A = this chain, B = another copy of it.
């Protein structure tokens, strides 16, 4: 049994991580640290965790409790991660960081599991990818083998838990229900993370990235459109996707009458992908759960890779969250 601690434990991604770790056969949950909810019961804060026995601990509790060999999932935001991760590493813990603090740091393993298994396996610190980068990169990286697109357009739709659990007017039920709207339209914070990974995989085309909020609690659908100079061979492109994800149990490449559906992946660590060639444009649709494969699910998958367990360990039980 490996002890796993969580910081920023009262957020949506952390709650999903707690749910998964609670059911993980080789994990013992350690300290669940929260600045905002220290002392309160986890069961009172998340319907999903109503039958769990945990309590939030005050800031500093993880640092006080951590022992070499423990794992810490840090989910308290960029600033907190930059402040506590170095000390945790120095104490001998392994860290899976769910913030964006280390995602553009070339010295840190980037935990997009299907593409970086080896780096993750040997890392002491893993930068767990954001939900938008996960959906976009799973969709676009197999394209590199097909050639170099000239333009990439990504139109992404996200459930509101992606905005976190801190109360904000824009996340209220009455502001999200009945609406769809783009946001972060000038420059989204996740864009550099996406661009860095695309470039390091030989996809240098300029990226136009437009995120939208849709009336979903969880879930994400990203449509990526790569424009090439000529027409690609559809069968060839499809084979590239099948090959890229053969042996990856969480990735389903669908075709024929099937299209990726958020409902088919919500509450899971799965991703559904579909690629079509339309003239010079390759369209790749990817559905994930923003809290699953886009956050906590992938974090647990990274944990499994770091600890040498099969990737699916502890990831069979689906979650349900309102919406």
Contact = CB atoms under 8 A, between A and B. Distances in A.
Interface string A175-197: 11111111101000000000000
Identical chains bound together, number: 4
Contacts of A319: 318, 320
A136 interface: no
Contact of A174 (B153, B180, B218): B218
Interface stretch (A84-92, A122-130, A208-216): A208-216
Contact of A225 (B225, B274, B276): B225
15 contacts: A157-B214, A159-B174, A167-B172, A173-B215, A174-B323, A177-B215, A177-B323, A178-B217, A179-B219, A180-B262, A182-B223, A208-B225, A208-B278, A214-B214, A267-B320
A47 to B, nearest CB: 4
A7 interface: no
Interface residues of A, number: 76
A260 interface: yes
A317 B318 contact: yes
A102 interface: no
User: 6 shortest A-B CB distances, which residue pairs?
Assistant: A178-B322, A177-B323, A167-B167, A47-B263, A179-B263, A267-B320
Interface in A260-301: 260-264, 266-267, 270, 272, 274, 276, 278-281, 283, 285, 287
A285 B49 CA distance: 20
Nearest to A266: B320
A169 interface: yes
Given A44-B257, A180-B261, A215-B216, 11 more contacts: A50-B261, A153-B281, A160-B172, A174-B217, A177-B217, A178-B216, A179-B261, A180-B219, A180-B287, A215-B215, A266-B320
A60 interface: no
A51 interface: yes
A155 B160 CA distance: 20
Nearest to A181: B261
A67 interface: no
A288 B182 CA distance: 14
A63 interface: no
Given A216-B180, A263-B178, A185 B322 contact: no
A167 B164 CA distance: 13
A69 interface: no
A259 interface: yes
Contact of A179 (B47, B167, B177, B181): B47
Contacts of A168: 167
A59 B16 CA distance: 41
Interface in A217-268: 217-219, 221, 223, 225, 227, 252, 257-264, 266-267
